[in-house]
């Protein structure tokens, strides 16, 4: 009997441990937002890096931190973000970060990355062959749960696309500040992304952003 209780306790402990590893939170360093080249210099430099000759050098954690913060980080208190949302709600698009070591989800609440999978999915997500060469691919996905408060389907789609436009322009500008190559990609393998990220029904991939140095 004692043996059985011990065995059950060990099984529960192993389960809790596994669950916590799957949901591991990696706090990102505070974004480096002082100094830099200035917004107008960044605007002057903003451009898409060549897809075919995309830079293959990895980003530092600090650079990734700054880019994710620029894309949808909190910039004033707990309800103010770098990008505008209709009715001032929380961001209704999520950012997944795909790299050689797996996929994480950006959590703007505590500026952290939550592990989603240990698989390298970069070769699966883009319809163009060169996309896989990017050291980091950001995958922007609409969040149907948050968008459900808006009633009209067409409007919901517009909201997600408008927000994606703001997020990706912020990504381009932050990338320009750090001399990082960036490219917006619309040609995606939707079904592969949905499967790889186990997206709930209603959540839709909107675009990819290739990043590399
Ligand atoms: C909505 C949108 C969709 C795009 N889709 C792709 C794409 O699927 N593949 C690609 O290689 N580039 C894509 N791009 C990048 C554009 O080709 C690029 O932004 C354009 O050539 C202008 O270059 P610039 O960003 O340097 O000004 C896309 C850009 C936008 C804004």
Which pLDDT value is given to residue 25? Answer: 83
Which pLDDT value is given to residue 9? Answer: 46
> What domains does the chain contain, in order, with CATH numbers?
26-212 (3.40.109.10)
Q: Which atom of ligand 1 lies at the shortest distance from residue 126's CA?
A: 8
Q: Which residue out of 50, 139, 184, 187 has the highest number of ligand 1 atoms within 8 Å of its CB and is therefore the one to mutate?
A: 184
Q: What is the mean pLDDT of each run of 10 residues along the chain (213 residues)?
A: 47 42 77 95 98 98 98 98 98 98 98 98 98 98 98 96 99 98 98 98 98 98
Going by the DSSP 8-state scheme, the letter that residue 23 receives in this structure is: T
Which pLDDT value is given to residue 23? Answer: 53
Q: Do 196 and 119 meet the contact criterion of CB atoms below 8 Å apart?
A: yes
Which pLDDT value is given to residue 7? Answer: 47
Q: Which atom of ligand 1 lies at the shortest distance from residue 51's CA?
A: 11
Phi, then psi, of 178 in degrees rounded to 5: -100, 5
CA angle 74, 78, 80 (to 5 degrees): 50
Short-list 112, 164, 109, CA closest to 138? 164
Ligand 1 contact via 76 beta carbon (within 6 Å): no
Spatial strand order of the sheet with 181-185 comes to 25-27, 112-117, 102-107, 93-99, 136-142, 205-212, 181-185
**Residue whose CA is closest, atom 16 of ligand 1?**
184
Which pLDDT value is given to residue 17? Answer: 40
**Residue whose CA is closest, atom 31 of ligand 1?**
184
Q: Do 210 and 137 meet the contact criterion of CB atoms below 8 Å apart?
A: yes
Which pLDDT value is given to residue 24? Answer: 62
Q: How far away, in angstroms, is 163 Cα from ligand 1 center?
A: 17
Q: Is the dihedral of CA 57, 63, 67, 72 positive or negative?
A: positive
Can you read off the two tokens belonging to residue 121? Answer: 């999915």
Q: Which atom of ligand 1 lies at the shortest distance from residue 47's CA?
A: 26
Is beta strand 205-212 parallel, antiparallel or unpaired with respect to 93-99? Answer: unpaired
């Amino acid at each position: 009997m004692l043996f059985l209780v011990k065995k059950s306790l060990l099984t529960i402990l192993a389960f809790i441990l596994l669950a916590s590893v799957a949901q591991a939170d990696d706090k990102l360093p505070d974004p480096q937002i002082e100094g830099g080249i200035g917004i107008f210099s960044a605007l002057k430099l903003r451009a898409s890096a060549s897809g075919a000759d995309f830079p293959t050098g990895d980003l530092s954690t600090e650079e990734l931190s700054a880019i994710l913060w620029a894309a949808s980080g909190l910039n004033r208190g707990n309800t103010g973000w770098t990008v505008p949302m209709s009715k001032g709600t929380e961001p209704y698009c999520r950012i997944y970060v795909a790299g050689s070591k797996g996929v994480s989800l950006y959590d703007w609440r505590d500026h952290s990355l939550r592990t989603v999978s240990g698989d390298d999915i970069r070769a699966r997500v883009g319809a163009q062959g060169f996309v896989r060469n990017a050291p980091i691919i950001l995958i922007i996905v609409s969040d149907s749960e948050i968008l459900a408060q808006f009633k009209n389907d067409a409007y919901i789609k517009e909201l997600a696309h408008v927000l994606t436009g703001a997020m990706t322009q912020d990504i381009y500008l932050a990338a320009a500040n750090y001399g990082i190559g960036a490219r917006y990609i619309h040609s995606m393998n939707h079904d592969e992304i949905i499967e790889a990220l186990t997206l709930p029904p209603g959540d839709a991939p909107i675009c990819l952003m290739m990043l590399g140095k």
